């Protein structure tokens, strides 16, 4: 075939237009050519590895809903963090399972809480590891909601802000590099910024869970973090998945309140929001490849329905291509091994 011929029509065939010999497949002919013209490059430096930490010693409890993931005591957490650094992954995101829970989630902002102890241990063992901490109460409250719960079951927004700020300050004081509020309370970024500044932690950046949707894909995480609500759900404060324009308003509001980084969560079902956020905002943007997305692919791979490694890399690359600078993913170690060649 010497050229490509196409017909253009506006109700009738007006004739044929001849174009030069354009063959897009030429640049795909060999692996070296494909690698040379690749537009999106994924690196271990783009990844953040989420970890679940619990009290005790020699605890490495398998998470049934998330194959390959564990609740870890501090000794095993250190092993994971050392390996994470060896693989070239620059950051971890910590979630805690406390010894006890109460109505106000007091273990979240206890200076000797499990997250605070984990931060100190990581900084002593791997000083250069970037430690990101989740700022929320759901893992620490006996009712499983993300804030202070009133008698009628409604979350008290303003009372929750005070406790979120206390949590962020306690984490930053322990050595956290980045605090990441996920409670989806109105004004939470401004509250954290004010609290951190007043505590002499003005250099601590805030990664805003700015666009966090009420999603069915969080189920496995709630098993892992033991954080499922005992009654009701979180749809009164997490976003409706149908609302893309509102998501951009949430992102913009967090920028105005002083966020240093933004996040879209979940990633795969909201790549359109991620792409629009990348076009509109100049701040670094993270996307959270959440537990349900991980569990689905692990299940499909275990059953031989897909090539797990190939699908994993395709999925993570799509998130990067849509605009994420950072990808929070339970696949971080597996992806880093492949990217480093073993």
pLDDT tens-digit map of 96-150: 999 999 999 999 999 999 999 999 999 999 999 999 999 999 999 988 788 888 8
What is the residue-averaged pLDDT of the chain? 91
d(CA 18, CA 4): 7
Mind listing the pLDDT tens digit for each residue in 211-268? 999 999 998 988 886 777 766 677 787 889 999 999 999 999 999 999 999 999 999 9
Mind listing the pLDDT tens digit for each residue in 156-207? 999 999 999 999 999 999 999 999 999 989 999 999 999 999 999 999 999 9
pLDDT at 26: 87
pLDDT at 178: 98
Q: pTM score, two decimals?
A: 0.91
Q: Where are the domains of the chain?
A: 44-339
pLDDT at 342: 63
The CATH fold of domain 44-339: TIM Barrel (3.20.20)
DSSP 202-229: TT--BEEEEEEB--GGGHHHHHHTT---
pLDDT at 9: 46
Question: What are the start-end ranges of the H helices in 95-156?
Answer: 114-125
Contacts of the segment 16-25: beta carbons below 8 A, 24+ positions apart: none
Place of tokens 């990808």: 327
Which of these, 176, 244, 234, lies nearest to 205 by C-alpha position? 176
d(CA 168, CA 296): 32
Return the structure tokens found at 19. Answer: 């174009």
The catalytic residue positions are 212, 265
| pLDDT tier at 153, thresholds 50, 70, 90 | confident
């Amino acid at each position: 075939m010497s050229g490509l011929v196409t017909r253009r029509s506006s109700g009738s065939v007006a004739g044929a237009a001849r174009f030069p010999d354009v063959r897009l497949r030429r640049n795909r002919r060999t692996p070296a050519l494909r690698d040379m013209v690749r537009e999106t490059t994924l690196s271990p430096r783009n990844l953040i590895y989420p970890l679940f930490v619990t009290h005790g010693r020699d605890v490495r409890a398998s998470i049934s809903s998330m194959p390959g993931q564990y609740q870890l005591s501090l000794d095993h957490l250190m092993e994971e963090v050392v390996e994470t650094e060896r693989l070239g992954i620059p950051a971890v995101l910590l979630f805690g399972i406390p010894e006890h829970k109460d109505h106000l989630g007091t273990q979240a902002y206890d200076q000797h809480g499990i997250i605070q102890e984990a931060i100190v241990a990581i900084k002593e063992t791997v000083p250069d590891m970037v430690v990101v901490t989740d700022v929320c109460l759901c893992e620490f409250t006996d009712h499983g909601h993300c804030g202070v719960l009133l008698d009628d079951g409604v979350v008290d927004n303003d009372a929750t802000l005070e406790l979120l700020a206390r949590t962020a300050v306690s984490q930053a004081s322990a050595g956290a590099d980045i605090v990441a509020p996920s409670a989806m309370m109105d004004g939470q970024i401004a509250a954290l910024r004010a609290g951190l500044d007043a505590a002499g932690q003005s250099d601590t950046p805030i990664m805003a869970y700015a666009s966090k949707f009420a999603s069915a894909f969080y189920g496995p995480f709630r098993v892992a973090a033991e954080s499922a609500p005992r009654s009701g759900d979180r749809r009164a404060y997490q976003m409706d998945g149908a609302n893309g324009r509102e998501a951009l308003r949430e992102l913009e509001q967090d920028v105005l309140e002083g966020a240093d980084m933004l996040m879209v969560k979940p990633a795969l079902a909201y790549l359109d929001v991620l792409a629009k956020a990348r076009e509109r905002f100049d701040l670094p943007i993270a996307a959270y490849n959440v537990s349900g997305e991980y569990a689905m692919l692990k299940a499909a791979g275990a059953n031989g329905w897909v090539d797990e490694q190939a699908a994993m890399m395709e999925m993570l690359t799509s998130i990067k291509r849509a605009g994420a600078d950072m990808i929070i993913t339970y696949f971080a170690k597996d992806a880093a091994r492949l990217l480093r060649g073993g």
